Amino acid sequence: MYSTHVGTSSTDAITIYGHDLCNELIGKASLTDLIFLGAQNRLPQESESKMLNALMLGVAEHGFTPSSLAARLTWLGAPEATQAAVAAGLLGAGSVYLGAMELTTKMLADGFAAHPEASLEEIATAIADKYEETGERLPGFGHPVHRPVDPRTVRWYELAEQWGVLGQYGRLLTAVHAEVEKRRGKPITLNGAGTFGGLLGDLGFGWQTVRTIVTAARAVGLVGHIAEEASRGTRDSTAQQLYMHVQDNTDYQA
């Protein structure tokens, strides 16, 4: 026997997560609310909904990135299958791109679990010690463009404070940031990926679901890239220009 709480349909009704889709959700809840409902089995409070929306908006679009280029190039080969282009753009959501968000949330969660009675400053010190000892890269810090401040980090923290959703995860991340800067003796960027992971933890999302949230946001951003390619046609698309540029600037070595 199978079981699910996600959704079911009858002749004249659709129920998802215990709510009547047409009468309780459509026209009343946002797509962001539905994401929250699916992950946490409850509708968000207004402040939570606004914060999740702000977080997802901030990671949906980054211009020409590996994911958007993959989407455009896939569209070039199969313009009749736009879903394939979106999927291609999401397949590279790993440890280098998008994965830092998940790793940051996990780092903070592990810190709380390992030191349940410690202060935030003590946990931050323990986290920094652990990463120094293992030689692993500390997730959530550094950025090739936004230095020494990531503008998304500033805005998200402002909104989290304003809407009353800044919690222990976001505060611990700030403590880790201060500890890292103290040890390195110079400003270090607390990047948008790390902030996204920390503040998503404050909204109650477990680290296991963080990457699903960011890929959902990135899927929205890919719509614009595919639409732009489609408006130009395959011959004049960015993907076609990129393909020809590589063809014309590659030396074949036997």
Please state, in angstroms and rounded to a whole number, the distance separating the CA atoms of residues 154 and 190.
9
Does 37 share its domain with 152?
no
Shared-domain flag, residues 155 and 73: yes
The verdict on 34 and 122 lying in the same domain is: no
Q: Does 19 have pLDDT greater than 90?
A: yes
Rounded mean pLDDT, 235-240: 95
Closest residue by Cα to residue 77 from 62, 65, 88: 88
Averaged pLDDT for residues 132-140:
92
What domain range includes position 8? 1-44
- Determine how β-strand 7-9 pairs with β-strand 14-16: antiparallel
Rounded to an integer, what distance in angstroms lies between the CA atom of residue 252 and that of residue 138? 39
Examine the domain organization and report whether 83 and 168 are in the same domain.
yes
Q: The tokens of 98 are what?
A: 């998008």
| 93 and 213 together in one domain | yes
Q: In this predicted model, what pLDDT tens digit does every residue of 42-63 receive, in sequence order?
A: 999 999 999 999 999 999 998 9
116 phi and psi angles, rounded to 5 deg: -65, -25
14-52 CB burial, b ≥16 within 10 A, e <16:
ebbbebebeeebeeebeebbbbbbbbbeebbeeebbbbb
Q: Are residues 124 and 172 in the same domain?
A: yes
Task: Please determine, for residue 146, whether its predicted confidence score (pLDDT) is greater than 90.
Answer: no
Q: How many domains does the chain have?
A: 2
Q: What pLDDT, on a 0 to 100 scale, did the predictor assign at position 202?
A: 98
DSSP reduced 3-state for 7 = strand
Give buried/exposed letters for 115-141 (b at 16+ CB in 10 A, else e): beeeebeebbbbbbeebeeeeeebbbb
| Nearest C-alpha neighbor of 203 from the set 21, 46, 24 | 46
Residue 89 has pLDDT above 90, yes or no: yes
Q: Could you tell me if 196 and 231 lie in one domain? A: yes
Residue 126 clears pLDDT 90, i.e. is over it: yes
3-state secondary structure of 33: helix
Confidence class for position 145, pLDDT limits 50, 70, 90: confident
Q: What pLDDT score was predicted for residue 227?
A: 97
Map residue 116 onto helix, strand or coil. coil
Say if residue 104 is in the same domain as residue 180: yes
Q: What is the average per-residue pLDDT within 201-217?
A: 96
Q: Are residues 34 and 49 in the same domain?
A: no
One domain for residues 29 and 97: no
CA distance 118 to 115: 5
**What 3-state DSSP class applies to 19?**
strand
Looking at the structure, do residues 234 and 203 belong to the same domain, yes or no?
yes
**d(C-alpha 213, C-alpha 200), whole Å:** 9
Which candidate, 35, 60, 4, 54, places its Cα nearest to that of 204? 35
Does residue 144 register a pLDDT over 90?
A: no
Collect all residues with Cβ–Cβ distance below 8 Å to 137 and sequence separation of at least 6: 131
| Region class of 164: left (phi > 0), else alpha (psi between -120 and 50), else beta | left
Helix (H/G/I), strand (E/B), else coil: 118: coil
**Of 11, 29, 44, which residue sits at a domain end?**
44
Token couple for 148: 């020494």
Percentage above 70 pLDDT, the chain: 100
Distance CA 200, CA 44 (A): 13
147 in the same domain as 133:
yes
Q: Could you count the other beta carbons within 10 Å of the beta carbon of residue 84?
A: 15
pLDDT score recorded for residue 39:
96
pLDDT score, position 134:
92
